[in-house]
Structure 1
Amino acid sequence: MFRKIDKTSTFNDVLTQIIEKIQNGELKPGDALPAERILAEEFGISRPALREVLKALSLLGITVSVHGGANYIAADLRNCLTEPLSILFQMYNSKIQDALQLRGALESKAAFLAAQNCTPLDAAELHLIIAKLDSTQDEKIRGDLDRDLHLKIAQISANPLILSVLNASSQLTENMITGIRSYFMQKNSTAPEIDSQHARLVHAITEKDSSLAEKVMNEHMHTIERLLGEISIDELINSDTLNDNTPATNSDPV
């Protein structure tokens, strides 16, 4: 399956070949890689060197390892940037607002492009999500639907880079404060504002009004930043949304 590589650039050569196999369809998400012995022989490298490469690929989210040593192509390659982005976040001692600002920039562009690319089927799916949001009081379900809505808009944008980075930045936010979407989507004083923005956003996208879609998404993301800034750490702890693994200095709203 693979050709021998230049041992002076082992990682890059292995990565390049795996990406080529994914691009041409020889390797698909969820497919198992050949056994380590076979891989090492095909690449012409030692098994210890191969293991180091596989560890790096796993860190990037391109492959996953399971008990027993088997290695697979990740089932969802959209998540491959989550871990590297998380490392950068920690390296710069960033705050949750930094992640939200990154998301805001990506979400706005995604909405702009989605309005240009929205098909009748896309429009029907967006309206269905809005209808489900309107029909349920369950904050967990509403949080999941909120995620579905933003993901669908990113998918409609038809830009795989925006989708991947947006997915990673969104996951980063939720890893820091688990359940934050559900918290915001509670049917309390903030929910009507968010629901209204969602409805206006979907209307702009389905009417193919790119400028309005971008404007409403900007407004929506600014609202999320504002609401987060109004929430105290005590409230997050009491609502069981704070992730115990997240340092308070990184999640403290300012």
Structure 2
Amino acid sequence: MTEIFTRIEHSRTADEVLQQIERLILEGVLGAGDRLPGERDLSARFDVSRPILRDALKALEARGLIESRHGGGTFVADIVGEVFAPPMAQLIRSHRKAASDYLEYRREIESVAAELAARRATEADRALLTGIVERMKAAHAAADFEAEAEADVDLHNAVGECAHNIVLLHTLRSCYRLLADDVFYNRSLIYVLPGARDRLLEQHCAIRDAICAADPEAARKAARAHIDFVEQAAAEAERASEWQRVSRLRLQQRGGG
């Protein structure tokens, strides 16, 4: 495994340790919930004294970037999730217009991310995308909705990472948190639409293929086509769900339920 913490070469101050950990969080190398190594191990990796490390960790905690859990260690704080705190997520969920605005936003930002990823993806990035797509294919073949949905979010997050734009990365991560939580629409309803799972898999593969082929225009088009389909499928799933609800009420009213 690649070492992400590097030896402090110069004055070995708490500020240098703080800046290195901040940079790892900013670049998305360290994500929400990641546990930092123990104090002894981490001070050795940085080649600094434990008092210096403690000062750096205290400063990071004061900034809300890490949190200490009693008896459990030190973890990266969920600063991405705070972009859409539960009250805001609930407010968004209760207003239908937010769903169309969300997909409009995703259509634009994901097409930019895919285009940048096609221009900037490294060999390691392309391997990451391929690994996620293979996991998605396996889940698809096994009809494992939960695993396929998880791979879906992972792939979109990975495209954001491959774009190598820090602001874009964290914006997308907050956006996909809402996707994972089914805030705007129930993905399980989309997955049961005839042919939808096959279409979604094809679209995800097309995005991966365009990025790996270093074709920015194809990547942009594939990303936009994917969101166009999701928007159409979400509307269709909502209509079907409403029709089923009305049908059940009619049946119940007639004494058949």
Partners in 2 of 1:216 and 1:85 — Cα distance? Answer: 34
Distance in 1 (CA, whole Å) between partners of 2:192 and 2:120 is: 31
CA contact (8 A) 2:153 2:179 kept: no
Amino acid at match of 2:231: E
Task: Identify the range of structure 1 (200-209 vs 185-194) with the bigger mean alpha-carbon deviation.
Answer: 185-194
Does residue 102 of structure 2 align to residue 102 of structure 1?
A: no
Distance 1:219 1:26 in 2: 36
Query: Equivalents in 2 of 1:112, 1:82: separation in Å?
Result: 26
**2:212 matched to 1:216?**
no
Among residues 143, 147, 172, which one is paired with 2:178 in the alignment?
172
Tell me the secondary structure at the aligned position of residue 152 of structure 2.
Answer: helix
Work out the CA distance in 2 between the residues paired with 1:81 and 1:225.
23
Give, in whole Å, the separation in 1 of the partners of 2:184 and 2:89: 18
Contact 1:102 1:169 in 2 (8 A): no
**Is the 8 Å Cα contact of residues 144 and 182 (structure 1) preserved in structure 2?**
no
Q: Which residue of 1 aligns with 2:6?
A: none
Which runs of 4 or more aligned residues in structure 1 lie more than 3 Å from their structure 2 counterparts after TM superposition?
A: 19-31, 62-67, 72-80, 84-90, 173-188
Aligned equivalents of 1:126 and 1:139: distance in 2?
19
Contact 2:89 2:178 in 1 (8 A): no
| Percentage identity across paired residues of the two chains | 23
Structure 1 partner of 2:88:
86
Count of residues in correspondence between the two structures: 198
Residues 1:157 and 2:167 are matched in the alignment:
no
SS of aligned partner of 1:25: helix
CA offset at residue 23 of structure 1? 3.3
TM-score, normalization: structure 2?
0.60
With over 3 angstroms needed to count, the CA separation of the structure-2 counterparts of 1:222 and 1:124, relative to structure 1, is same
**Paired residue for 1:189?**
195
Give the alignment's TM-score, normalised by structure 1. 0.60
Q: Residue 116 of structure 1 aligns with which residue?
A: 119
Aligned residue number for residue 145 of structure 1: 151
For structure 1, the residue ranges without an aligned partner over 5 or more in a row are 1-18, 32-38, 44-53, 239-254
1:81 partner SS: helix
Q: Considering only aligned residues, what root-mean-square deviation do their CA atoms show, in Å?
A: 4.3
Taking a change above 3 Å as real, the CA distance of residues 190 and 88 of structure 1, as seen in their structure-2 partners, is closer
Select the structure of larger CA radius of gyration: 2
CA distance in 1, matches of 2:20, 2:235: 46
SS of the residue 2:21 aligns to: coil
DSSP 3-state at the match of 2:105 = helix
Shift of the 97–206 alpha-carbon distance from structure 1 to 2, 3 Å rule, reads same
Q: Which residue of structure 1 aligns with residue 19 of structure 2?
A: 23
Q: CA deviation at 1:129?
A: 2.0
